[in-house]
């Protein structure tokens, strides 16, 4: 049982390193394809159902992707379907895993745009890089780092997407502040995440599934909205799409970075000194 935030993050990293190795055929030999199928976690075992993973993508989207990118899909939604990406935009995917949403984003923004994938797990980054190459993607860059300390300059991104990762963070306030820092004024987020109904306590969320399985660490709907507003976002919405456990939902989270925060009495996000670039 992880005791500190660092221990918990290491547990998450190990869990997703195993998933990446399983998809790459380097795991413990379960031979079952999906990176999650060896887990006894109730949420993870739902990959391939309508709750988590590749089943949440259109068949047409799946057909244009390498098999390993589809099998490595561990998300709880389809952020590229909600982010309304345009040609020429710069997109950042937080916790890019096997690269499925980076590949789809890179195709959407075209050669004049750019898709970054950020992940802390070496095995996932290697898998994503291979998948992007196999898909013939030239406008994607995979970065190693933490979503709590994004290694990109301030105001360098048009859209942030993420698929079932923010719930895994041990410092969600830092993540939301970093989102506001890297986005250009008027930039937007289109995130899929697991979100709890407001009445569930932290203990009740923990009873419904594990932290590494994307359940126990989920924010409630009100916590998500308040956190985004405090970080300098407006037009914030959190919409439940499908129940993944009792009172816990896959959700679409949208928000726009406030254009002129100082005029609205909202926080002005300063670049974090440790968030150096490239």
| Cα 182 off chain centre by | 15
Instruction: Report in angstroms the alpha-carbon separations of 267 from 86, 197, 227.
Output: 28, 27, 12
Cα–Cα distance, 18 to 212 (Å, whole number)? 12
Q: Does 214 bind ligand SAM (CB under 6 A)?
A: yes
Stretch of 160-168, 181-189, 228-236, 241-249 lying at the interface with ligand SAM (CB under 6 A): 160-168
One residue of 18, 41, 89, 119 binding ligand SAM per CB under 6 A? 119
**Residue numbers 94-113 binding ligand SAM by CB under 6 A:** 95-98, 100
Cα–Cα distance, 69 to 24 (Å, whole number)? 10
Angle CA 213–8–29, to nearest 5: 55
Cα–Cα distance, 23 to 75 (Å, whole number)? 15
Give the residue at shortest CB distance from ligand SAM. 97
Stretch of 59-67, 133-141, 144-152, 244-252 lying at the interface with ligand SAM (CB under 6 A): 144-152
- Count residues binding ligand SAM (CB under 6 A): 25
Q: Does 147 bind ligand SAM (CB under 6 A)?
A: yes
Q: Which CB, 191 or 238, lies closer to ligand SAM?
A: 191
Q: Does 180 bind ligand SAM (CB under 6 A)?
A: no
Q: Would you say 204 and 247 are in contact if contact means Cβ atoms under 8 Å apart? A: yes
One residue of 75, 190, 217, 250 binding ligand SAM per CB under 6 A? 75
Q: Does 74 bind ligand SAM (CB under 6 A)?
A: yes
Cα–Cα distance, 9 to 240 (Å, whole number)? 26
**Residue numbers 54-73 binding ligand SAM by CB under 6 A:** 73
**Residue numbers 232-261 binding ligand SAM by CB under 6 A:** none
Q: Would you say 272 and 153 are in contact if contact means Cβ atoms under 8 Å apart? A: no
Tell me the two tokens of residue 11: 């547990």
Q: Does 131 bind ligand SAM (CB under 6 A)?
A: no
One residue of 46, 91, 164, 251 binding ligand SAM per CB under 6 A? 164
Cα–Cα distance, 266 to 262 (Å, whole number)? 6
Q: Which CB, 75 or 209, lies closer to ligand SAM?
A: 75
Helical packing angle, 122-134 and 5-23, nearest 10°: 40
Contact residues for ligand SAM, defined by CB under 6 A = 9, 12-13, 16, 73-75, 95-98, 100, 119-121, 124, 146-148, 163-165, 168-169, 214
């Amino acid at each position: 049982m992880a005791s500190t935030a660092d221990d918990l993050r290491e547990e998450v990293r190990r869990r997703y390193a195993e998933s990446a190795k399983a998809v790459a055929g380097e795991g413990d030999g379960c031979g079952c394809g999906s990176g999650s199928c060896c887990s006894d976690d109730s949420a993870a075992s739902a990959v391939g159902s309508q709750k988590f993973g590749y089943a949440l993508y259109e068949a047409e989207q799946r057909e244009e992707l390498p098999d390993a990118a589809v099998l490595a899909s561990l998300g709880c939604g389809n952020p590229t379907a909600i982010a309304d990406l345009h040609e020429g935009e710069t997109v950042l995917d937080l916790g890019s895993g096997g690269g499925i949403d980076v590949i789809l984003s890179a195709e959407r923004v075209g050669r004049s745009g750019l898709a970054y994938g950020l992940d802390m797990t070496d095995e996932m980054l290697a898998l994503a890089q291979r998948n992007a190459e196999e898909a013939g993607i030239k406008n994607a860059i995979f970065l190693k780092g933490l979503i709590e300390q994004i290694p990109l300059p301030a105001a360098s991104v048009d859209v942030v997407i993420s698929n079932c990762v923010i719930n895994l963070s041990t410092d969600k306030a830092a993540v939301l502040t970093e989102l506001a820092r890297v986005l250009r004024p008027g930039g937007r987020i289109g995130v899929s995440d697991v979100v709890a109904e407001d009445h569930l306590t932290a203990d009740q969320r923990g009873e419904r599934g594990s932290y590494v399985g994307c359940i126990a660490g989920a924010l409630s709907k009100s916590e998500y909205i308040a956190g985004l507003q405090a970080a300098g976002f407006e037009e914030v919405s959190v919409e439940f799409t499908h129940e993944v456990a009792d009172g816990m939902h896959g959700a679409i989270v949208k928000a726009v970075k406030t254009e002129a925060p100082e005029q609205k009495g909202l926080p002005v996000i300063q670049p974090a000194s440790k968030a150096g670039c490239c």
